[in-house]
C-alpha cells in the first residue's frame, strides 16, 4: 500500500465523517425546535418540485448519452437557471424594499 493509497483512504473517511456531521448536527439541534424542521421540509420540497419541473421540461436527446442521463443533466441545468434567476429577483426585491423604507 502506497502513501497515496493511505492518503486517499484517509480522505474518504474524513469526507464520510463530515457528511454525517453536516446531516446529523442540524437534525439533533432541530429536535429541540420542531418548527425549524417544517421550514426545512418546505425548502427541500420546493427544491424537489423545481427539479421535477426541470425533469419534465428537459429534452432526452443528447449525443453520446442515454435518454435518462440526458434528462437528468437537463433537469439539473433547468433547475439551476430557475434557482439562479429566483435568487436575482429576490435580491432585487429586497434591495428595492430597503430603499422604500
Question: How far apart are the C-alpha atoms of 41 and 19, rounded to whole Å?
Answer: 19
Question: How far apart are the C-alpha atoms of 25 and 20, rounded to whole Å?
Answer: 8
Mind listing the pLDDT tens digit for each residue in 16-58?
999 999 999 888 888 888 787 888 889 999 999 999 999 999 9
Whole-prediction pTM = 0.69
Q: Which domain holds residue 91?
A: 34-101
Residue 58 has phi, psi (to 5 degrees) of -70, 145
Residues 22 and 68 reside in one and the same domain: no
Residues 64 and 98 reside in one and the same domain: yes
Question: How far apart are the C-alpha atoms of 59 and 76, rounded to whole Å?
Answer: 12
Residues 27 and 49 reside in one and the same domain: no
Do residues 50 and 34 lie in contact, with contact meaning Cβ atoms separated by under 8 Å? Answer: no
In the predicted model, is pLDDT for residue 63 greater than 90?
Answer: no
Mind listing the pLDDT tens digit for each residue in 75-85?
999 999 999 99
Residues 72 and 51 reside in one and the same domain: yes
Residues 8 and 43 reside in one and the same domain: no
Question: How far apart are the C-alpha atoms of 31 and 34, rounded to whole Å?
Answer: 6
Amino acid at each position: 500500500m502506497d502513501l497515496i493509497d493511505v492518503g486517499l483512504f484517509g480522505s474518504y473517511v474524513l469526507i464520510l465523517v463530515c457528511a454525517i456531521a453536516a446531516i446529523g448536527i442540524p437534525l439533533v439541534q432541530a429536535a429541540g425546535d420542531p418548527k425549524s424542521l417544517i421550514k426545512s421540509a418546505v425548502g427541500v420540497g420546493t427544491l424537489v418540485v423545481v427539479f421535477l419541473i426541470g425533469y419534465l421540461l428537459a429534452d432526452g436527446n443528447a449525443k453520446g448519452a442515454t435518454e435518462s442521463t440526458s434528462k437528468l443533466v437537463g433537469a439539473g441545468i433547468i433547475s439551476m437557471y430557475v434557482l439562479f434567476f429566483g435568487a436575482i429577483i429576490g435580491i432585487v426585491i429586497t434591495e428595492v424594499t430597503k430603499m422604500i423604507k
